[in-house]
Amino acid sequence: MVRNRRRMPPRRCTASMGSSNGSESDASDLVMRCLSCEEEYDMDDSGTCRECYQEANEAEEELRREIEELKSKVSFLTLPYPNLNASTADIILVPVDDSDAVPIPAHKHLLVSRSPVFKAMLENDMAERRSGTIKISDISYDTLSAFVNYLYTAEASLDNELACNLLVLGEKYQVKHLKTYCEKYLIAKMNWNKAISNYAFAYQYNCKQLRSASLAVILDNMDLLTQNECYAELVDTNPRLVVEIYETYIGKQLNTAGAF
């Protein structure tokens, strides 16, 4: 918890009466020095006792140790991307709609452990198990490659498009961790321009958190709603969702009015 808003010579917490003018002192004249930022403060701005400060420091150190251990565990458990180790691969994934694509090698046991859909596919007597090939439609080589890489490493270099594409794959193959990872990215990058498209996307792929984050941004900008370039499209493609926006907005207005 050691922060330094302004560097001061460290010293033990001290308190002094500000009564240099000889007048009678009171509580507001007293100043103490914060053990964390080392700045002076008066009693109205007091925070914790010394013991709690020390305990909080120890607790923080303990949390940081736990983080280091977990990071080391993640690093140990992360597997290299299969391209690096293709000689042991026992399955290939093919993005059938990308004519330039080369097949992507992988390991059955890993796919099985990461996705219940791959598990059903590869542990039962299905075409994919017999042929050793999983054909995936409607995606590019780059997206599939990022998807497989994520299954090995739990990492991806996202932009908005890749986050959406991987979230779709996360939903399709029930890779919950990936779906949450992409959803968090989209929420972090949310703004008014993306709010309506994110709202429709979240509805389609069953992302509760993204949906409520988008709705919150939309409700904060109701005066701009009809001018948003995605609005007309949403009215065409999914008018029920537009109705839901208006219903929520009116419901909130009535609630707020009822509170006064």
DSSP helix/strand/coil, 106: strand
Q: Does residue 58 bind a second copy (CB under 8 A)?
A: no
- CB nearer to a second copy: pick between 79 and 216: 79
Q: Does residue 231 bind a second copy (CB under 8 A)?
A: no
Question: Shortest CA distance to 93 belongs to which of 121, 119, 132?
Answer: 132
Q: Does residue 47 bind a second copy (CB under 8 A)?
A: yes
Dihedral, CA of residue 219, residue 225, residue 230 and residue 231, to nearest 10: 100
Q: Does residue 188 bind a second copy (CB under 8 A)?
A: no
Question: Rule CB under 8 A: which of 103-132 touch a second copy?
Answer: 107-110, 112-114, 123
The only residue of 8, 70, 96, 224 in contact with a second copy, by rule CB under 8 A: 70
The only residue of 27, 208, 223, 259 in contact with a second copy, by rule CB under 8 A: 27
- CB nearer to a second copy: pick between 36 and 204: 36
Is residue 50 within 8 A of residue 35, CB to CB? The reply is yes
CA dist., res. 116 & res. 241, Å (int): 31
Q: How far is the CB of 223 from a second copy (least distance, A)?
A: 33
- CB nearer to a second copy: pick between 123 and 159: 123
**Bridge-based pairing state of the strands 133-136 and 91-95:** parallel
Dihedral, CA of residue 55, residue 57, residue 60 and residue 65, to nearest 10: -100
Provide the token pair at 241: 């969702």
Region of 44-52, 192-200, 228-236, 243-251 interacting with a second copy (CB under 8 A): 44-52
- CB nearer to a second copy: pick between 180 and 204: 180
Phi, psi torsion values for 33, nearest 5 degrees? -110, 125
Which residues is 136 bridged to in the sheet? 95
CA dist., res. 93 & res. 148, Å (int): 9
Provide the token pair at 166: 């991987």
The only residue of 15, 120, 224, 232 in contact with a second copy, by rule CB under 8 A: 15
Residues that bind a second copy (CB under 8 A): 1, 3, 13, 15-17, 25-27, 30, 32, 34-37, 39, 41, 43-56, 59-60, 63-64, 66-67, 70-74, 76-80, 82, 85, 87-90, 107-110, 112-114, 123, 154, 177, 180
